[in-house]
Amino acid sequence: MDHAPSMLATLVMALALALAFGVAARALRLPPLFGYLVAGVMVGPYTPGFVADAALTEMLAEVGVGLLLFGVGLHFRLQDLLAVWRVAVPGALAQVALGTAIGLGVGMLGFGLAPEAGLVFGLMLAIASTAVATRSLERSGNLTSEAGRIALGWLVMQDLVAVLALVLVPAMAGAGLAELPQVLGRSLLELLAFGASVLLLGRRGLPWALAHLARSGSRELFTLGVIVAALGVSFGAAAIFHVSFALGAFFAGMLLGESDLGHEATAEVMPLQRVFAALFFVSVGMLLDPRGLLQAPIVSVAALLAVLLGTGAATFGVLLLLRVEAATAAIVAGAMAQIGEFSFLLGKLAVVEKVLPASANAPVIAAAFGAILLTPLSQHGLLRVAGWLGQRPRWRSWQAAGQGPAIRPPEGAVPPGHAILVGYGRVGRVVAAALRRHGLPVLVVEADRRVAEAAMAAGLPVLWGDAARPEVMQAARPAEARLLVLALPDAVAAQRMLQLARHGNPGILAAARAHDDVAMAALAEDGNIGLVVMGEREIALGIADFALVRLGIEAGEAQRTIEALRMGEG
């Protein structure tokens, strides 16, 4: 009972300050997580005033990471991850090796660490935070894109490396090195056993159990079942197979996402996911000791640079070497240019085992804090570099050389008066199917080579390339087109594509997709655009239309009301 007031005070104060500073961050046009981090500093042990229960906050943060990764897994399919393994496996391993080498240099020069301890310090600076990366991709609308799939595969590989590292540190602490092969072998067997359990038991058992709850007709039981599935599988994976809590949650979500229960499960878990994810960032802020920055400012800055180079720049460079599209590589690298939960866990273990001095933790925490705050700038900078590369003919030729034969429609395959459809994802596929059903000519422009090949296999005329490049847009013949459909979530790229199309055909009618209100407003500034669509708003308008007609409003009047709402009229 003595702990109850501390628990209640910690939860209330952490959430209240997260809300207050989150609102302040939004007012300053900063991401809310900036406010959550500041809230963590305010309730941390290194600032005066109220001090939250660090152990409790850390536990709640782990729940938040688990729910966040469970929600992410609901949007993915196993085949989505398998499709990017050829990039994710060698790429993530190469990036971790590069990042560890850079961190090793910082550790040896900054603290005079031995090579073995320097490797642990380097690894702490080389593995990105899954929670931060997925939130960043979700916020930019890229979580379910090709970049999102690559990033998730990359993060899974990093997580597997992290599991092995947590086994390696205790062995490095003393005489356990002789038993290292045996310990690593056991860990690998546990990972294989976890994978087999996921495929053989979880793939059918988890959806079956939740479907049974859904048939009971009790929404409360279904909600409880979803939470138990998310946290139960995560806890079981950690306790039985020694796999990270977050990785277990991700695979639990992915298994459930393959069933018809995925959308309802997403709706049930989303509110809790957002609350607990905020607590994760509060817990990160609590770790920051301003005195640690003053004691080792140079090493802290060097650690931050090591993170930006070893996770962000290294990821970008490795993806480019693997001939991934530059814009896609920039999105992935921008989301990965930070560190988080694994670094703190590994650092705590290394200090306890006396592999690292306690003073080594402060620069790592400072680097994590700084890198998370700089994530938007990292993304912007890498996208600028990607745009610059896209204008270099030699770069484009080198990249295209590794992609196989060109994908472009045969001469005369697309008659004049066609529609240019940019993006063949979930939205683009539906638009293409509608146009084909009525025999309307359409040309698909797709930057993702694998998706372009799928569209071509479906019998569509396809042009492979980035429509934000003048040469690619020109090849789509906008001067002869009647309609431009921008079915991709990147509003900045969509504006560029619209400008290029207007240059060839000032009167072309356009429809675009937006991820949020800001993107909608930016696209709507083009006075001649026909339609700007935001997914959530269209769902609401569709339901409103249905409600009006079913309640007796004449169909034409209902449609006029919906159009007025779509145009932002009260």
The per-residue pLDDT for range 298-312, each reduced to its tens digit, is: 888 999 999 999 999
Determine how many CB atoms are found less than 10 A away from the CB of residue 201.
Answer: 11
pLDDT at 1 over 50: no
Instruction: Name the H helices within 44-145.
Output: 54-74, 78-82, 85-111, 115-124, 130-139
Among candidate residues 6, 12, 3, the one with its CA nearest the CA of residue 279: 12
> 50-99, pLDDT tens digit by residue?
888 878 887 887 887 788 778 777 767 777 777 788 888 899 999 999 99
Nearest-Å Rg of the Cα atoms of the chain is 25
As a whole number of angstroms, the distance between CA 416 and CA 434 comes to 19
DSSP state of 358: G
| Adjacent-strand bridge partners of 71 | none
End-to-end CA distance of the chain: 52
Looking at residue 171, its pLDDT comes to 67
Domains of the chain by range and CATH? 56-146+154-173+204-390 (1.20.1530.20), 419-529 (3.40.50.720)
Q: What is the pLDDT of residue 403?
A: 58
Highest mean pLDDT among 30-44, 63-77, 523-537: 30-44
pLDDT of residue 336 exceeding 90:
yes
pTM of the shown model: 0.71
Count CB atoms within 10 A of the CB of residue 564.
Answer: 11
Residue 3 banded pLDDT, cuts 50, 70, 90: very low
Q: pLDDT tens, 393-417?
A: 777 777 766 655 566 777 777 888 8
- Evaluate if residue 5 carries a pLDDT over 50: no
- Check pLDDT > 60 for residue 4: no
The whole-number pLDDT of residue 406 equals 60
Task: Tell me the pLDDT tens digit for each residue of 186-242.
Answer: 777 887 888 788 777 777 788 888 888 888 778 788 888 888 888 888 888 888 887
pLDDT value at 335 more than 80:
yes
DSSP string of 178-243?
GGHHHHHHHHHHHHHHHHHHIIIIIHHHHHHHHHHHHHTT-HHHHHHHHHHHHHHHHHHHHHHH--
Instruction: Give long-range contacts, CB 8 A cutoff, 24+ apart: 517-522.
Output: 518/491, 519/491, 520/491, 522/491, 522/492, 522/495
pLDDT digit string, tens, across residues 97-148: 999 999 999 999 888 888 888 888 999 999 998 888 888 888 777 777 778 8
Strand-by-strand arrangement of the 483-486 sheet: 462-464, 442-446, 419-422, 483-486, 509-514, 531-534
- At which residue do the structure tokens 């650092």 appear? 347
If we measure between CA atoms, which residue out of 336, 337, 364 comes closest to residue 350? 364
pLDDT at site 193: 85
3-state secondary structure 235-254: HHHHHHHCCCHHHHHHHHHH
* Summary mean pLDDT of the chain: 82
pLDDT at residue 311, as a whole number: 92
The number of beta carbons lying within 10 Å of the beta carbon of residue 112 is 10
List the one residue out of 443, 64, 80, 53 whose CA is nearest residue 249.
Answer: 64
Residue-level pLDDT at 121: 92
Written as six digits, the tokens of 457 are: 């296999």
- For residue 313, the model assigns a pLDDT of 94
What integer is the mean pLDDT of 480-490?
87
| Percent residues over pLDDT 70 in the chain | 90
What integer pLDDT is reported at residue 106 of this predicted model?
Answer: 92
**Is residue 416 classed exposed, middle or buried when 0-12, 13-18 and 19+ CB atoms within 10 A define those classes?**
exposed
The values of phi and psi at residue 509, to 5°, are: -80, 140
Give the residues across from 512 on adjacent strands. Answer: 486, 532
Distance between CA atoms of 37 and 414, rounded to whole angstroms? Answer: 53
